[in-house]
Amino acid sequence: MINSSEPTSNEIEQLLRDYLESEWNHFGEIIFSHSDGVGLFSQWIHSQRWIDSLPISPKESRKYAPAIICYSFREIRSRMIEKGLFMLRKKKLEMLLQSTLSSFPLEVYDSLLNENTGWSRLFTTTINAMEREFSITLPSIKANKSSHKAISSQDWLNSWLVRPHFPKYKHYYESIGDKGEQKFLETKAKNKLRVQAHHPHVKRVYFSLLAYHQCYEEGMDELFRSVSDPLHLTPEEKQFLDRLLQYHHPRLRSLLHHFIERLVERKTKQHYKEAIKYIIMLEEIYKREHLVERFHTYVKILKKRYERFSSFQKELAARVFP
């Protein structure tokens, strides 16, 4: 039992390995092999059955629960990676981790991180590593907020750009108290992501950021410029399009005209069906703007332009004008 003197973070790590390694090995197996493996792991966490395994008092176990649980998540992740199983359960584990972190009052984190002990140092090291290893948003704890003052927004951005992740950006942005610094971060992040938006993951983060900051003109320009096949919009691009629709953006009709032409010219059944969806969306916009006759004129022009596209003509007749 470690109570004779203040343990170091290394000694605490060794204690956790000594008494919890069999549990980590067990869950590293059943999280993948059992149909409700993640659920069983969740029960182990939330019922605090790990308390029975550790030679520390129940009071200490509750106080240091965030450190013990987060360390356990990392150890189980490591075992699953070794067996090539982690990516198959990554999403469910990250959801469990996120909900678990959110279940602790912020005062628990503040007390742990500000006590300057081996436990606090272990927890700091663990959550810093978890920020790289898991796609999660860390709690808005005082120790994290004060750390923003120790590094510039530029330094934070340079680190974030190695693996951009929107929830992390949002969390950091909202923790900044200075409006000018927030604007600096927003502008720099948008500019950097725009240059790399040809990478699928970066594009998804970019459109999440544009929607968050309500940068509708910039997003509109990017959709016009970069989307060659609207059938394959990312979920974030679709959500941004929904925002434009809700916002009644004045250029949305032009964008939909553009998308419809791109889709029809692909000449596949899937593309034709997607084009019809946009035509129906377009019809609603024209109706909302009391321009129904102009929509009818547009459809006539579309029919004439693609009169040799017989499959498209059938889709158009069946879905738009039954």
User: pLDDT (tens digit, 9 = 90+) per residue, 48-79?
Assistant: 888 888 888 888 888 899 999 999 999 999 89
Q: Are residues 300 and 199 in the same domain?
A: no
pLDDT single digits (tens) 191-215:
999 998 889 999 999 999 999 999 9
In angstroms and rounded to an integer, the radius of gyration of the C-alpha atoms of the chain is 26
At 70 the pLDDT is: 92
304 Rama sector, left if φ>0, alpha if ψ -120 to 50, beta otherwise: alpha
Indicate the residue among 140, 165, 193 that finishes a domain: 140
The answer on 161 and 269 residing in a single domain is: no
Final residue of a structural domain among 185, 212, 227: 227
**The residue to which tokens 């971060």 are assigned:** 185
Per-residue pLDDT at 146 = 42
Quick one: 293 and 159 in the same domain? no
Question: Is 16 inside a domain boundary?
Answer: yes
> Is residue 245 domain-resident?
no
Q: Do 158 and 206 belong to one domain? A: yes
pTM of the model: 0.53
- Max mean pLDDT among 77-91, 130-144, 248-262 falls in 248-262
Q: Which amino acid is at 77?
A: R
Are 183 and 108 members of one domain?
Answer: no
Same domain, 208 and 91: no
**Total domains present in the chain:** 3
164 and 119 in a common domain: no
Whether pLDDT at 26 is above 80: yes
The answer to whether residue 238 is domain-embedded is no
193 & 261 share domain: no
Which segments of 134-268 does DSSP mark as H helices, in order? 142-150, 153-160, 166-175, 179-195, 200-212, 216-226, 235-247, 252-264
Task: Note whether residue 146 is domain-resident.
Answer: no
> Nearest to residue 278, comparing CAs of 294, 295, 291?
295
The answer to the question of residue 195 being in a domain is: yes
CB atoms within 10 A of CB 313: 15
- Decide if pLDDT at 223 tops 60: yes
Same domain for 130 and 201?
Answer: no
What token pair was written down for 214? 């309500």
What pLDDT score does 321 carry?
Answer: 54
pLDDT of 73: 94
pLDDT at 38: 92
Do the domain assignments include residue 217?
yes
Confidence of residue 138 (pLDDT cuts 50, 70, 90): confident
DSSP state of 211: H
Domain span including residue 278: 250-322
Q: Is 251 exposed, middle or buried (0-12, 13-18, 19+ CB in 10 A)?
A: middle
Query: Does pLDDT of 269 surpass 80?
Result: yes
Asked if residue 275 belongs to a domain, the reply is: yes
Q: Which of 2-16, 17-31, 221-235, 255-269 is predicted with the least confidence, judged by mean pLDDT?
A: 2-16
Are residues 136 and 4 both part of a single domain?
yes
233 inside domain: no
For the chain, what is the mean pLDDT?
87
pLDDT at 136: 83
Mean pLDDT in residue range 173-184: 84
For 322, the 3-state DSSP assignment is coil
| Distance between CA atoms of residues 59 and 52, nearest Å | 12
